[in-house]
Amino acid sequence: MKLKRPPRTILVACPRRIGDVLLVTPLIRSMKTQWPEAEIDMIVFRGTEGVLEHNPDLRRVITCARRAPLRERIADAARIWRRYDLACAAIDSDRALFYTWFAGRKRIGLVNADRVTWFARAMLHRIALDRQLQAHVVSSTLELAPLVGVTPRGEVVAPGIRLDPERRARFEARFNAPPGAMPGQPMVVLHVCPMYRYKQWTVDDWAATIRWLRAQGFAVALSGGPAQAEREYAGQVVAAAGELVLNLVGELTFGETAEMIRRANLFIGPDTGTTHVAAACGTLTIALFGPTDPVRWGPWPCNWPVGEQPWARRGSGLRGNVYLLQGEGECVPCRQEGCGGHTESTSDCLTGLRASRVVAVAAQLLGIPAPTQIQIVDISR
């Protein structure tokens, strides 16, 4: 589809989870680079917009309810009716397709290669095929760029901060001398609690990792969202570690969290949105993966070249600034929501992942000797 002139206004639709929203930013960066005068908006589910905080490529972020009745969805769509020169369904989703059709005078979209329907063809002027089991989500999304003559750029744009002087002073004060640390001491950030339990590591292994990091002279900071379950889990980890830790779970915005991660020597986290942010920040990152397929969802390393897939389906290793550490088991990755098949179940490949493996990788990335043994304290006994 050739555009007669560069679009002045663009809408990108991505009503899905936080990680999906973040991993669409390379498409937006590609369009903004090609068309610097274009004003780009994004429509996302309410509660996911934080990962776009102070994104320099966006004019505004439009939020919609995740479980809205049809009448509310139509009202949302009516407010954007044909307001955009170009609209993009950046994920394979009926909801994204719906908003794209309403918003754009020209329309493109990503459609699952296994279910290209007449409906999708009727709603869009051009489609890109999403081969979900063969390509990373960033690569799939960037298939939209050539449809409108845009050169793909594989840069995931992490959130940022723009603070008034008083708020910035408070933010800086947190890191001048974290608990138990001297000013200027190196720091490691841990994100201990993902949104879903099946992606969760164990309290005891997090605690053992913290004790080792503190023994090596690192300050340790915890990141996390405001949900009560996250706060409680972080509290359990801190209590089990028995060490001074800067616990900022629920205290920072996504942009502030990204700024903290940029200052860190290392980030360790599970398969969650903040781990993708850490990878985008360029910080050395250890991603703990269990049932999730890394081919599709492994963190996209900073400045990774377009056209190259960073991850294989099985096997741990370092790509760019990201070390993907995969749990063990013949079933890994099963692509299921835990061993119980639901989000609140556990995953044996993660609960069986020992702190000694994580610490050995951390030592390698930090350039320090690996320990001969790690003390695990089981607080349930």
What are the tens digits of pLDDT across the range 220-275?
Answer: 999 999 999 999 999 999 999 999 999 999 999 999 999 999 999 999 999 999 99
Higher pLDDT, 206 or 179: 206
Burial of 61 (0-12, 13-18, 19+ CB in 10 A): middle
Token look-up 């290793």 returns 317
Calpha distance 96→108 (Å, rounded) = 11
Instruction: Look at residue 311 and tell me whether its pLDDT is greater than 90.
Output: yes
Contact 285, 362 (CB under 8 A): no
Q: For the ranges 30-39, 155-164, 199-208, which has the lowest average pLDDT?
A: 155-164
Q: What is the mean pLDDT of residues 277-306?
A: 97
Check pLDDT > 50 for residue 305.
yes
Query: pTM of the entire structure?
Result: 0.93
Least confident of 3-7, 8-12, 270-274, 276-280: 3-7
Angle of the 203-215 helix axis to the 228-241 helix axis, nearest 10: 50
| Residue 204: CB atoms within 10 Å | 20
Write down all domains in the chain, each with its CATH number in brackets: 9-148 (3.40.50.2000), 174-366 (3.40.50.2000)
Pick from 7, 301, 300, 23: nearest CA to 150? 7
Distance CA 48, CA 64 (A): 10
Q: Which two tokens stand for residue 379?
A: 């607080």
The yes-or-no verdict on residue 3 having pLDDT over 70 is yes
pLDDT at 78: 85
